[in-house]
Structure 1
Amino acid sequence: MTPLTQVGMLVINTLVGLYLLVVVLRFLLQLVRADFYNPVSQFIVKATNPLLIPLRKVIPGWGGIDIASLVLALLVQAIAVVLILLLNGIQPPIQVALWASIGVLSLLLKVYFWGLLITVIASWVAPNSYNPVLILINQILEPAMKPIRKIMPDMGGIDLSPIIMFLLIQVFEVLLVQGLAKASGMPAGLIMGI
């Protein structure tokens, strides 16, 4: 791999990866009905609207799920896969759509993993903080954490549900993402979410 190819991959991975993260966050924020007036939410909305508004005219939402933002995430991921393959002189195979889906799924799992890690650390360092980022992360995590907390027995004020959530994320990562990626013949390091 030439230095110019490496630079091209670095630029594509960075720029497309950051935009893909913002699009996935937009999907999650609307899915959990997070605070629209949060400054972080406002940034995410403004960053995704130029591509999302025209797409929504073609792809409507369904049952409170913003299908257009999910399709945009898949399109962004697929474009990145094609660009990286072309940059390396490889003809893009038919599996690009599957690889893009695996990448978006992996990125969703990473958002939950890092969000959970941030909230656990923040609960030790700055409990009861009203930071807009922490509020938004909690709004994203709470729908996934609520069923686990209902099942967990009362541990005298100690919340062990993050441990169970970390374990579930790792299980999904290994079984779904890595298993699907290997089964589909996806090259390692090709997808932003992985």
Structure 2
Amino acid sequence: MSYLANALSMLIQFAFGAIATLFLCRLLAEATRAEFRNPLSQFIYRYTNPVLAPIRKVLPNWRYINLAALLMVWLALLIERVLILALGGIFPQVLGLLVMSLADLVDFVLLFYIVVIFGWSLLSMLSTDPYQPLMRFAGAIADPLLRPLRGKLVAGSIDFSPTVVVIVLLLARILLAQPLLDLGARLSLGNG
């Protein structure tokens, strides 16, 4: 790829990554029942609702899972994948492209959780105000993954449950997302 194509690729990844992150935050905020009065939750709701409201009329929630937000995350990653491949002059088969975008979705969610748990753990060790909006939001999102191990992996006054969860998430990226991405790449080239 040329330097210009690399620069465009970076801008595409940044733009669609930001869009996917916004809709993923909406999805996880609803799924974890994050506090709606939190200014961060209100920001996310304000900027995602105009897109999600019409889609939710056709694709309603399933339990606490906002399927419209999940669809938007997947579409953002699919469009990102198409644009980056087109920059490289690659036009994959549709089935392979769909599988690769599904792998991108799985990997994106896993990486998002790694960043949230790491950031939340770091900020909580630095005695950050627990009522700060970002801390409350990150804590609400991270809690379902940390709750089963919380208090069970304590040495001294250090809880190692975030470390174990991050290691499991990293392993899931290697053992789940990467093989799915490889399958999608083979299918996109017609080597299924």
TM-score (normalizing by structure 1): 0.87
Cα shift at 1:131: 1.2
Structure 2 residue matching 1:101: 3-state secondary structure: helix
Cα shift at 1:169: 0.9
* 2:189 corresponding residue in structure 1: none
Q: Name the CA distance, whole Å, in 1 between partners of 2:130 and 2:148.
A: 24
Q: Name the CA distance, whole Å, in 2 between partners of 1:124 and 1:62.
A: 36
* 1:192 corresponding residue in structure 2: none
* 2:135 corresponding residue in structure 1: 134
Structure 2 residue matching 1:149: 3-state secondary structure: coil
Cα shift at 1:154: 6.0
Distance 1:87-1:161 versus aligned 2 partners, 3 A rule? same
Q: Name the CA distance, whole Å, in 2 between partners of 1:180 and 1:40.
A: 33
| Residues 86 and 92 in structure 1, CA contact (< 8 A), matched pair in contact too | no
Q: Name the CA distance, whole Å, in 2 between partners of 1:163 and 1:6.
A: 34
| Residues 115 and 141 in structure 1, CA contact (< 8 A), matched pair in contact too | yes
Structure 1, unaligned runs of 5 or more = 187-194
Whether 1:46 aligns to 2:46 is yes
Q: Name the CA distance, whole Å, in 1 between partners of 2:162 and 2:6.
A: 38
Identity of aligned residues (%): 30
Q: Residue by residue, what CA displacement relative to the aligned partner does 1:120-145 show, whole Å, maximum 9, x if unpaired?
A: 21122125532110110000011111
TM-score (normalizing by structure 2): 0.87
RMSD of the TM alignment (CA)?
A: 1.9
Cα shift at 1:6: 2.2
Where in structure 1 do 4 or more consecutive aligned residues deviate above 3 Å?
Answer: 153-158
Larger deviation, residues 139-148 vs 90-99: 90-99
Distance 1:135-1:91 versus aligned 2 partners, 3 A rule? same
Structure 2, unaligned runs of 5 or more = 187-192
Q: Residue by residue, what CA displacement relative to the aligned partner does 1:78-129 show, whole Å, maximum 9, x if unpaired?
A: 1111122222222132212211111111111112111111122112212553
* 2:117 corresponding residue in structure 1: 116
